[in-house]
């Protein structure tokens, strides 16, 4: 099971690298656009639209990457007080919901993306980028990646639930 988890998370890690480099490119692009606008009075529409194109992989691939690295927001008021098995049960429930939501949105996003691809949808702005359908492809891809990370988390929680319990784990020993 650990081999499967590592394989799935390696996929998420690679997608996260795409998101990280997209973020770096976005920062450089915004800085360049500001310099062009204020020092040379140039404001190219394609460069401004490229900013939108870079936000798509950052957000949609970054979701699963953040979840993998536990950079998501959690409220651990009760979670920290649970036994190890209780935490695994909560993690399992969260992972199953993540899989359901990720798979549902990925599935629903396919038709939306397919329509955009068939139309070869581009920017409605004069001089804009012609590849808007590529942005929309990140919707099913990003949510499928979220479902994949959910599967990895689900397997990890199942491993925790199947692990033998130590006598002192999960409850206080009273004398």
* Residue 81 domain flag: yes
What are the residues whose beta carbons fall under 8 Å from the beta carbon of 102, sequence distance 6 or more?
64, 143, 144, 145, 146, 147, 148, 149, 150
pLDDT at 49 over 50: yes
Contact in structure between 129 and 122 (CB atoms under 8 Å) = yes
Compute the mean pLDDT over every residue in the chain, rounded to the nearest whole number.
90
Name the 3-class secondary structure at 130: coil
* Residue 171 domain flag: no
**pLDDT confidence of 128, banded at 50, 70, 90?**
confident
* Residue 62 domain flag: yes
**pLDDT tens digits, 107-125:** 999 999 999 999 988 888 7
* Domain total in the chain: 1
If phi > 0 it is left, if psi is from -120 to 50 it is alpha, else beta; for residue 60 that is: alpha
CB-neighbour burial class of residue 120 (10 A; exposed 0-12, middle 13-18, buried 19+): exposed
pLDDT of residue 141: 97
| Structural domain span for residue 9 | 2-162
* Residue 167 domain flag: no
**pLDDT confidence of 174, banded at 50, 70, 90?**
very low
* Residue 172 domain flag: no
* Residue 147 domain flag: yes
Contact in structure between 129 and 46 (CB atoms under 8 Å) = yes
**pLDDT tens digits, 129-141:** 888 888 899 999 9
* Residue 174 domain flag: no
* Residue 87 domain flag: yes
**pLDDT confidence of 85, banded at 50, 70, 90?**
very high
pLDDT at 71 over 90: no
């Amino acid at each position: 099971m650990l081999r499967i988890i590592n394989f799935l998370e390696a996929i998420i890690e690679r997608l996260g690298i795409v998101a990280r480099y997209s973020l770096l490119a976005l920062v450089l692009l915004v800085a360049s656009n500001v310099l062009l606008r204020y020092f040379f009075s140039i404001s190219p529409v394609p460069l401004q639209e490229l900013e939108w194109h870079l936000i798509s992989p950052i957000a949609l691939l970054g979701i699963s990457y953040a979840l993998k690295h536990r950079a998501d927001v959690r409220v651990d008021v009760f979670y920290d007080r649970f036994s190890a098995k209780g935490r695994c049960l909560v993690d399992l429930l969260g992972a199953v919901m993540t899989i359901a939501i990720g798979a549902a949105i990925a599935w629903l996003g396919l038709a939306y993306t397919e329509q955009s691809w068939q139309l070869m949808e581009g920017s409605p702005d004069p001089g804009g980028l012609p590849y808007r359908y590529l942005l929309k492809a990140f919707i099913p891809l990003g949510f499928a990646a979220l479902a994949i990370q959910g599967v990895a988390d689900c397997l990890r929680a199942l491993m925790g639930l199947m692990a033998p319990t130590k006598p002192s784990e999960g409850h206080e020993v009273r004398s």
